[in-house]
Structure 1
Amino acid sequence: MLESYLTGLLVCGGLIIAIGAQNAYLLSQAIRREHHWPVAAICAVCDASLFTLGMFGVSAALIAVPQALEFLRWLGVIFLGWLALQAAVRVWRGRAVLKVGAATRGSLRKVVLTSLAVTLLNPQVYLDTLLLVPAIGAQQNSAVAFVIGASTASVVWFSLLAWGGAALAPVLSRPLAWRVIDGLIGLMMAAIALQLALNGSL
């Protein structure tokens, strides 16, 4: 159960950090102290809901079609390998840093709607939460522990950005910082893909 929790924590933590749209928007709000806690809550709740939907929707399907487990296993290997390759390319080329500019303070309603759009209109979110996460989670001994670990990663990361936005901004404005982050993400994804391919579980 602990292994399933830690796997969910690490896998989903890497995915959340890698998705830049949510991070950039929340960080910009946190620096201006403009409704940043509601933004963090929306990001975390949406992610946790999608993790749960994807995980238990796939688990229900596996009961009816056990052969799907092997298919999901290799799908997870391929997708993780692709993410690791993307991270390696970003390390090599660098990525656009998070830039925060001055802006007029917006209403809570506008901020909430923008947060939902940034979260739910990003195709990568659905690939991660409804495809990759269930593919990895289906291999775990405890699906519940895996989802709790994934949700914990989301809550912790977005809370850190909301709380420490002003302090993190100078660091995240440096291209080198994101090269290091992307390098760690790539290594983690590659290691998980290899473990999944060799042993069929994590």
Structure 2
Amino acid sequence: MNTFLPHMLAGLGLGFSLIIAIGVQNIFVLRQGIRGEHVLPVVLVCALSDAALILLGVTGLGVIIERAPLLITIIRWAGAAFLLTYAVLAARRVFTANSLDVTTEGKSAGLGATVLAVLALTWLNPHVYLDTVLLLGSIANTHGIDGRWWFAVGAVLASVIWFTALGYGARLLRPLFAKPIAWRVLDAIIAVVMLVLGVKLVLP
């Protein structure tokens, strides 16, 4: 077995374990994938953002974050405000007739607004700094000077595979979401998840 493979597989496994969970990023990617709107830009932003955060963790940014709790506090409150706002918008869509029917014309968000939204959902989430940068970066550095980079490659690969599968695989759910009631249920779930995560960010 090649010497790099164990490190890369370890990074791949940890990357999947951290990313495959109900979270704001995944819900947003799923929703865009079902609607078939700006899927490639959303997938690219998520994957590239994760790659940047992973590399920052491997290069030692986690140490800085650990010693700067004020930074995490600022990010936490900004993230909570954004999540709660997003929860309110999702809740409003639940009560708007046909607002999310995939056949409705003129209801889609523009590319710029979509990219800004996914950037905010990614970079204003303090958990990405605690999990991706601090935790993953710390574990990567236990693999030695050379092994940590292969570990990072595996973790980045996990992000690319996951977001690509989620974004483009979501189209399989389109028949289910042909009815407006399905969109209302999804938006109700989104509103609850965003509300819970937003509240959890500001609670001690």
TM-score by length of 1: 0.61
Please state if 1:164 is matched with 2:169: yes
- 1:23-62, Cα deviation, whole Å (9 max, x unpaired): 1001100100010110010000000000001111269x7x
AA aligned to 1:149 is G
AA aligned to 2:55 is T
AA aligned to 1:163 is Y
**Which of 51, 54, 68 in structure 2 is aligned with 1:51?**
54
- Residue 116 of structure 1 deviates from its aligned partner by 0.2
Larger Rg: 2
- Residue 135 of structure 1 deviates from its aligned partner by 1.7
Where in structure 2 are the equivalents of 1:171-190 lying within 5 Å?
none
Aligned residues: 134
The 1-side partners of 2:22 and 2:151 are apart by: 20
Please state if 1:150 is matched with 2:155: yes
Could you list the runs of 5+ residues in structure 1 that have no partner in the other structure?
Answer: 62-99, 171-202
The 2-side partners of 1:154 and 1:165 are apart by: 16
The 2-side partners of 1:37 and 1:16 are apart by: 18
> How much identity, in percent, do the aligned residues show?
44
Q: 1:125 to 1:58 in 2, by over 3 A?
A: closer
Where in structure 2 are the equivalents of 1:45-124 lying within 5 Å?
45-57=48-60, 102=100, 104-124=107-127
Where in structure 2 are the equivalents of 1:13-52 lying within 5 Å?
13-18=16-21, 20-52=23-55
The 1-side partners of 2:61 and 2:8 are apart by: 18
The 2-side partners of 1:132 and 1:18 are apart by: 16
The 2-side partners of 1:168 and 1:55 are apart by: 37
- 1:152-202, Cα deviation, whole Å (9 max, x unpaired): 0000000001111122576xxxxxxxxxxxxxxxxxxxxxxxxxxxxxxxx
The 2-side partners of 1:168 and 1:148 are apart by: 31
TM-score by length of 2: 0.60
Q: CA RMSD in A?
A: 2.6
Could you list the runs of 5+ residues in structure 2 that have no partner in the other structure?
Answer: 64-93, 102-106, 177-204
The answer to whether the 8 Å contact 1:5/1:148 transfers is yes
AA aligned to 1:102 is L
